[in-house]
A = this chain, B = another copy of it.
Amino acid sequence: MDETLRTDLRTRVEELLAEHDPATTGPLEFLRARFDAGLAWVHFPGGLGGLGLPRRHQPFVAELLAAAGAPDRDRRRLTIGLGMAAPTILAYGTEEQQRRFLRPLWTGEEVWCQLFSEPGAGSDLAAVATRASRDGDTWVVNGQKVWTSVAHKARWGMLLARTDPAVPKHAGLTYFLCDMTAPGVEVRPLRQLTGEAEFDEVFLSDVRIPDAHRVGAAGEGWRVAHATLMNERIALGDLAPPRESGMIGVVAGTWRDRPDLRTPGLHAKLLWLWAEAEAARLTGLRLHQKLESDHPGPEGSAVKLALARLAQQLSGLELELLGADGLRYADWTMTQPDLVELTGGDAGYRYLRAKGNSIEGGTSEILRNIIAERVLGLPREPRADSGVAGQEPAR
């Protein structure tokens, strides 16, 4: 049956290419046409860039288009929109929101950011203090968000705000789509230990958001945010990369390139980490094979946990291996990077940046809670401030 589907997909791709020759069509125009042809993400519904097919057919389409030299977006710059905003809008957004936001999100015309974390609410999203008060057909938002990636480039933000302070903590939250160009939105870079400012702080002062940009019912924000975060954890870990992808590849490469640096003690460490990295890769691969639905479960948390730990141990080992060169650092000047590559930079940068892997997108501690409670069914933590022991990660 897959063969029939493939034939159909091939035909659709050929039609798209015939009507919009990549050689003569502008990239944006082509991407819009691809979206409209349902070839953007085939697992999305018809009319929203997809064809309602199983997700596994997407790579086939991508291959055909790539082979034909069709333009594509730089997906790495759209991770948040594609990985988190899109599934959330698809699952919880109104039809109007879906039609308005998904196309420019997918084409890369509009960059998205996530406005969940607050200085006083890190891993504990139920403690979100940013307030949104209803004023007719709009909401007036005041508060502060932190650890927002690419806020300074984003056109839209997924915003979690408190709309009802009277009810238990998790019940009074509502989910909005926030126009980052609206009056009252102020973005300031947040410098981190690497020296650069990869994240922003976002200050919201009397920002007005139309009620039409509310996602889910008022008070339902917790559940909607939950969906976003489950997707975040998956988006953060590409589950089926080749052997020696990521940090292990970098360190193994250094090992191979620099026989002068090798010592028996470091060899023993490297080999064990190689085994662990390959084990983590196979674990991700197995999970990838398991995920037939679009709704990733808590199992992905384990892969994120392992990858974070490995990135940290490997980058730490690389500095030990490099010795004298490990004492050098490229540049402490504060910059706002265009794109963050966790295996980029020099070894010192990788080491420092990897520390964030176990904090951003759900701290490792929160992920262990999630595994313990949702996978193993162990009792929830006693919670002093509410009857409900909801625990949700941020960074």
Contacts and interface: CB of A to CB of B under 8 A. Distances in A.
Nearest to A382: B382
A136 interface: no
Contacts of A264: 264, 267-268
Nearest to A384: B382
A269 interface: yes
A334 interface: no
Nearest to A264: B264
A259 interface: no
Nearest to A381: B382
A354 B269 CA distance: 26
Q: How large is the interface on A (under 10, 10 to 19, 20 to 34, 35 or more residues)?
A: under 10
Interface string A257-290: 0000000110111010000000000000000000
How many monomers of this chain does the complex have?
2
A255 to B, nearest CB: 15
Chain B CB within 10 Å — which of A264, A268, A269, A382 has the most? A268
Contacts of A267: 264, 268
Main SS class of interface, A: helix
A274 to B, nearest CB: 13
A198 B326 CA distance: 53
A133 B269 CA distance: 60
A72 B264 CA distance: 49
A391 to B, nearest CB: 16
Contacts of A265: 268, 271
A265 B267 CA distance: 8
A268 B265 CA distance: 6
Contacts of A382: 382
Interface string A91-126: 000000000000000000000000000000000000
Contacts of A271: 265
Nearest to A383: B382
Contacts of A269: 268
Interface string A228-266: 000000000000000000000000000000000000110
Interface in A366-395: 382
Nearest to A269: B268
A70 to B, nearest CB: 50
A38 to B, nearest CB: 54
A322 B265 CA distance: 21
A269 B269 CA distance: 10
A264 B264 CA distance: 7
A269 B264 CA distance: 11
Nearest to A266: B268
A382 B381 CA distance: 10
A358 to B, nearest CB: 21
A265 B265 CA distance: 8
A262 B265 CA distance: 14
Report, nearest first, the 9 A-B pairs whose CB atoms are least far apart: A268-B268, A382-B382, A265-B268, A264-B264, A264-B268, A264-B267, A265-B271, A268-B269, A267-B268
9 contacts: A264-B264, A264-B267, A264-B268, A265-B268, A265-B271, A267-B268, A268-B268, A268-B269, A382-B382
Given A264-B264, A264-B268, A268-B268, 6 more contacts: A264-B267, A265-B268, A265-B271, A267-B268, A268-B269, A382-B382
